[in-house]
Amino acid sequence: MHKTLLYLFLLVAPAAMAQQESSKKEGGLLKKAGGVLNKVKGGNSSLSNDEIIAGLKEALSVGANNSAQKLSAVDGFFANAAIKVLMPPEAKKVESTLRSAGMGAMVDKAILSMNRAAEEASKSAAPIFLDAIKGMSFQDALGILKGSDSAATVYLKGKTTASLTAAFKPVIDEALKKTEATKYWKDVFETYNKLPTTFKKVNTDLSGYVTDKALGGLFYQVALEEQKIRKDPAARVTDILKKVFAN
C-alpha cells in the first residue's frame, strides 16, 4: 500500500510542480505587462518622458505597420469574417433576389471585388499613421498609458480618420476599377432592376461604402495589434517596447 502511494506521488509530483511553475511564469508575465501602466497611473514611473513617448510611438508604429501589411495582403479582408466587406444593408434585398434567381455567382464576384479594393487601399495606410505618430506629445502618450486598452487606437482614429478618408477614396475608386468591382456592381443592379419586382431601385455609393468599410476594418485590426502589444510580451519586438510595456 505504501509503495503504491509512493509510486503515485513520484508520478504526479513532477507534473504538479511543472504546472505550478508555469502558472508562476504566466502570472509574472501579466504582472510585467501591466507594470508600466500601474507606475504611470500611480505617478511614480521610473521611465523618462522621452522613453514613454518613444515607447508609445514605437507601439503605434508596430501596430499600424502590422495592420496595414495584414489587410493589404490578398484575402486580408475577404478571408477575415470580422471585417469582410459584404453587400450594404440597403442592398440585401437586391442580393437575396438575385441569388433566388440563380445569379449568385454575379453577386459573389461583386463582393470579392469590393474586398480586393479594400485590400488595395490599405497599402496607403501606414504612411498616414506614421505622420500622425510623429506629432505625438508627452500628454498624448500619457493619456494613452492612462487610458483603456484601446486608447492608442482611439488616438490614431481621431488623428487620422480625415486624412485616411481623403487618401483612401481615390485609391478605392481606382481599385474598384482595377478589380472590376464597378462593373460587377453595375451588373448586379442592372440585372436586379430588370427583374419583375415591386422593390425600389437601390442607388448606393459604392466607393463611399467600401471606403467606410475599409477604414472600419483597418481600425479593428489596429485595435487587435494594440491588445497584443499590451498583453503579449512576444509581440514587443523592439527593446523600447519591452522596456516601456514590461517594467
Rounded to the nearest 10°, the torsion over CA 235, 239, 242, 244 is: -130
Which secondary-structure segment (H or E) carries 237?
A: none
**Average per-residue pLDDT for the chain:** 75
Q: Which of 28-32, 51-55, 83-87, 137-141 has the lowest mean pLDDT?
A: 28-32
Give the pLDDT of residue 244.
62
How far are the Cα atoms of 2, 64, 93, 152, 164 from residue 59, in angstroms, in the given order? 57, 8, 43, 9, 20
Q: Examine the pLDDT at 197 and tell me if it is beyond 70.
A: no
Give the pLDDT of residue 25.
35
Whether 226 contacts 152, CB under 8 Å: yes
Average pLDDT over residues 25-41: 36
- R_g of the chain, CA atoms, integer Å: 25
Average pLDDT over residues 110-120: 92
Give the pLDDT of residue 108.
92
Q: Examine the pLDDT at 229 and tell me if it is beyond 60.
A: yes
Average pLDDT over residues 39-56: 62
Give the model's confidence band at 10: pLDDT under 50 very low, under 70 low, under 90 confident, else very high: very low
The overall pTM is greater than 0.85: no
Q: Examine the pLDDT at 71 and tell me if it is beyond 90.
A: yes
Q: What is the pLDDT of residues 50-65, one digit of tens each?
A: 777 887 788 788 888 9
Whether 53 contacts 145, CB under 8 Å: no
Q: What is the pLDDT of residues 145-155, one digit of tens each?
A: 778 888 889 99
Q: Examine the pLDDT at 222 and tell me if it is beyond 70.
A: yes
